[in-house]
Amino acid sequence: MHKLIILFNQPVEWHSFEKGWHKFLALAEKMPGLRKEVVSEIERLVFGSEGQHYHKIHELYFESREALDDALKSRQGQAAGQWLHQFTNGRIILFTAEHKEAKPEEFSRKTRS
């Protein structure tokens, strides 16, 4: 699987951010090939640059890199992207990643001697 990951900076104005984000959800969820969504509200910074304050992580999952690319190029993907930039004023970071997952039985359990 591949995913599009969006890091949202702390909003300047909460009410308008939430309203805009809900509109973004409605647009993004129409993207062809979308298999799964995961949204995380950031609670606190454990380690990293103190100058960056993120509010939310939104992950959109697709079956393959090709499916992700097709979704981004689609009419629905273009509309979602345009609205995303408009309502956040560019206060986001976007990146793509191959998604790999391991189940507990697949973990490396080497012990030290």
Per-position pLDDT tens, the chain of length 113: 999 999 999 888 889 999 999 999 999 999 999 999 999 999 887 887 776 788 999 999 999 999 999 999 999 999 999 999 999 999 999 999 999 888 888 787 766 55
Domain presence at residue 112:
no
- Dist. CA 76–CA 37, nearest whole Å: 16
Q: Is 8 part of any domain?
A: no
Report which DSSP code applies to 13.
S
Give how many domains the chain has, as a whole number: 1
Which residue range is the domain that position 60 belongs to? 24-43+55-102
Give me 62's structure tokens.
């697709």
33: in domain: yes
Tell me which residue of 11, 67, 9, 8 sits closest to 36, measured CA to CA: 67
- Domain assignment present for residue 90? The answer is yes
Which residue is listed with tokens 């009419």?
75
Domain assignment of residue 48, yes or no: no
The answer to whether residue 16 is domain-embedded is no
**Assigned domain for 93 exists:** yes
